[in-house]
Amino acid sequence: MTKALFVVSAADRWTLRDGEVHPSGYWGEELAVPHKVFTEAGWDVTIATPGGKAPTLDRLSMSKTAGWPSKLREVAAYLDGIDAELRRPRVLAEIDPDEFDVVFYPGGHGPMEDLAVDPVSGALLTRFLASGKPLALLCHAPAAAFAARNEDGSWPFTGYRMTGLSNLEEKFNSFGRKAIWLLEDRLRESGAVYSKARLPLRPYVVVDRNLYTGQNPPSSESLAERVVADVNATASR
């Protein structure tokens, strides 16, 4: 059975440039949809967070501005169904990445607060990227890559084609204009080869070697399905 690790932010806030603390966490659709896709594929999914802290759902991700009411109801129902997993995640520092076939990071602003500077997560990302096994980062989750470092101090993701929430999409939120840094800008500055969809809030997935990235919440399903398809194709060879 394919084993997938979901690394989820434990942050419940995002600190802005002016010191304002904005309530945040993980984005509902970005956890629920891929979790469902992987589970329906017959995969075993493990959720881990820094410190084993129960992750916080960003309530904005369940508001009427986040999607169609029917979709939000589906997401809410699915999250309720895996509530036991979410309330008792594994401690990230106790995870052996070699036990997993796939690692997946859902987004939300939470990763901008904690995973972007988390050395445990950074070491896991460095190791898993080098393993050649599928590593997927969705929306804001590529921020976690900034904590990754090779032994010589270089950034392991340099030269990789990647996507993530664009500057324009971030600024759709009034508070996003007060960000200390923007994901698109920092990915480019760090050495990633960033690209995005021609139009905002459209599904967009980039695959480079074993690295899979999705731009935004609407990319959740297509990103997860691409990972499943590629894993299945490799297994059938």
Question: pLDDT at residue 94 above 90?
Answer: yes
pLDDT in tens, 51-79: 999 999 999 999 988 889 999 999 999 99
Q: Is the pLDDT of residue 237 over 80?
A: no
Please tell me the predicted confidence (pLDDT) of residue 236.
81
Whether the per-residue pLDDT at 84 is higher than 90: the answer is yes
pLDDT digits (tens, 9 = 90+) for 125-166: 999 999 999 999 999 999 999 999 999 999 999 999 999 999
Residue ranges of domains in the chain, CATH in brackets: 1-234 (3.40.50.880)
Task: Tell me the DSSP string of 150-210.
Answer: -TTS--TTTT-EE----HHHHTTSGGGGG-SS-HHHHHHHHT-EE---SSTTS--EEEETT
pLDDT in tens, 198-228: 999 999 999 999 999 999 999 999 999 999 9
26: helix, coil or strand? strand
* Per-position DSSP letters for 46-115, written without gaps between them: EEEEGGGPPPPB-GGGGSGGGS-HHHHHHHHHHHHHTHHHHHSPEEGGG--GGG-SEEEE--SSHHHHTG
pTM: 0.98
